[in-house]
């Protein structure tokens, strides 16, 4: 499923990030520079928080509160899994709610990859 970030937010979804994720501030800075001139589509990838947690990973919401299986709003939480550097660059440049930023939700958490978060 693929929608713009703004559409996900208007449907009351909450974007979370993995706990202890590795963010490269040099990459964030590089992305921020490139975003000033980029006019095409920017793609982020996320999964449902329940799927993420059941795989044994931990996540935190935007307020820094850990996400648990017992959260009442768990079905409305998504975890960014692909290119957290880009996510943080978009956040710093206040471009997340731009119409060019799309978020894709795969049907299942990709298994063949080794994740770096």
Where in the chain are the domains? 2-104
pLDDT score recorded for residue 98: 86
- The pTM for the full model equals 0.88
Q: Which residues contact 70 (CB under 8 A, 6 or more apart)?
A: none
Q: Per residue in 19-76, pLDDT tens? A: 988 889 999 999 999 988 887 899 999 999 999 999 889 999 999 999 999 999 999 9
pLDDT score recorded for residue 117: 63
Count of C-beta atoms within a 10 Å radius of residue 6 = 15
Report the percentage of the chain scoring pLDDT > 70.
Answer: 93
- Token code pair at residue 98: 């731009």
Task: Check residues 110 and 76 and name the one with the higher pLDDT.
Answer: 76
Do 105 and 1 meet the contact criterion of CB atoms below 8 Å apart? yes
pLDDT score recorded for residue 115: 65
For the ranges 36-40, 102-106, 108-112, the maximum mean pLDDT occurs at 102-106
Average pLDDT, the chain: 89
């Amino acid at each position: 499923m693929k929608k713009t970030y703004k559409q996900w937010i208007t449907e009351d979804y909450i974007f979370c990030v993995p706990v202890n994720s590795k963010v490269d501030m040099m990459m964030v800075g590089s992305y921020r520079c490139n975003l000033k001139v980029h006019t095409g589509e920017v793609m982020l990838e996320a999964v449902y928080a329940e799927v993420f947690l059941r795989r044994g990973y931990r996540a935190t919401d935007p307020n820094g509160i850990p996400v648990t299986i017992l959260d009442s709003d768990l079905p409305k939480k998504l975890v960014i899994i692909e290119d957290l550097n880009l996510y943080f660059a978009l956040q710093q440049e206040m471009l997340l709610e731009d119409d060019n930023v799309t978020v894709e939700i795969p049907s299942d958490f990709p298994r063949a990859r080794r994740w770096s978060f």
